[in-house]
Amino acid sequence: MSITIRQATIADKEFVMLAIAEAEKSGNDTISYCNILGVSEQEFLVMLSNMLEEEIEGQEMYIPGFLIALVNGIPAAASCSWIEQSGNMASSTLKSNLLMYHTTRSVLLAAMPAIAALKEVNIDRTQGTLQIESIYTSPQYRCRGLTGMLINEHIAQHNTSNAAVNKAQITLLGCNEAARSAYTKVGFVQVQEKKSDNPIILKLLFCDSKIMMEKTIN
């Protein structure tokens, strides 16, 4: 089995979209954005495609921020990374701007109560840290260590290019035991958890908490 890792290009757009969508599902049937925005999966994928076309760095909807793991030349896993707020805006604000421009005002206003509820479990990313997101492996390639390889490659690339960054962070749903276990194997430890008993959160995320895991790098 030959495994190679390379930076994603526009030619990987479909696989990147799959990675983002499946990572957002976090093991469930529904993309959390669909629940939050009240849109179908098809509608969300059109939005996602348009948002990726904008090429906004510093958040997860940015194709060149992804690394792709290929098994025998076939895309098998992907994940993205960025340095949090290396520019003028936090990744969450960059994403808000993207969402504003790629959905309608009525959809956004209708989604506000859901978005407001999600703040109860939202964990702020730390400025200047390496953020790793949208980690996805195709089902047939799981249990081969691809997730760990991708995470280590993200860290290695940033260690080479930016010595000032000394922490990597991953934010995930508290119920995602498989992901938590995979990240623990590559040295991440849980540093924060936010839990809510608000039933809206459970309805939107199928989970009542979010956690942040962290690893010292450099």
Site residues for another protein per CB under 8 A: 54, 56, 88-90, 92-101, 105, 108, 112, 115-116, 119
Nearer to another protein, 122 or 159 (CB): 122
Nearer to another protein, 28 or 86 (CB): 86
The amino acid present at 188, given as its one-letter code, is F
Nearer to another protein, 101 or 156 (CB): 101
Half-sphere exposure of 171 (CA within 13 A, CB side): 19
Give CA separation, 41 vs 25, 26, 70, 135, 157, in Å.
11, 15, 26, 19, 33
Give DSSP secondary structure letters for 57-119: SSSSS-GGGEEEEEETTEEEEEEEEEETTSSSS-HHHHHHHHHHHSS-HHHHHHHHHHHHHHT
Least distance between another protein and beta carbon 96 (Å): 4
Nearer to another protein, 14 or 124 (CB): 124
Least distance between another protein and beta carbon 128 (Å): 13
Least distance between another protein and beta carbon 99 (Å): 7
Least distance between another protein and beta carbon 159 (Å): 27
At 20, which helix (H) or strand (E)?
helix 13-25
Least distance between another protein and beta carbon 90 (Å): 7
Nearer to another protein, 21 or 94 (CB): 94
The count of other CB atoms within 10 Å of the CB of residue 182 is 22
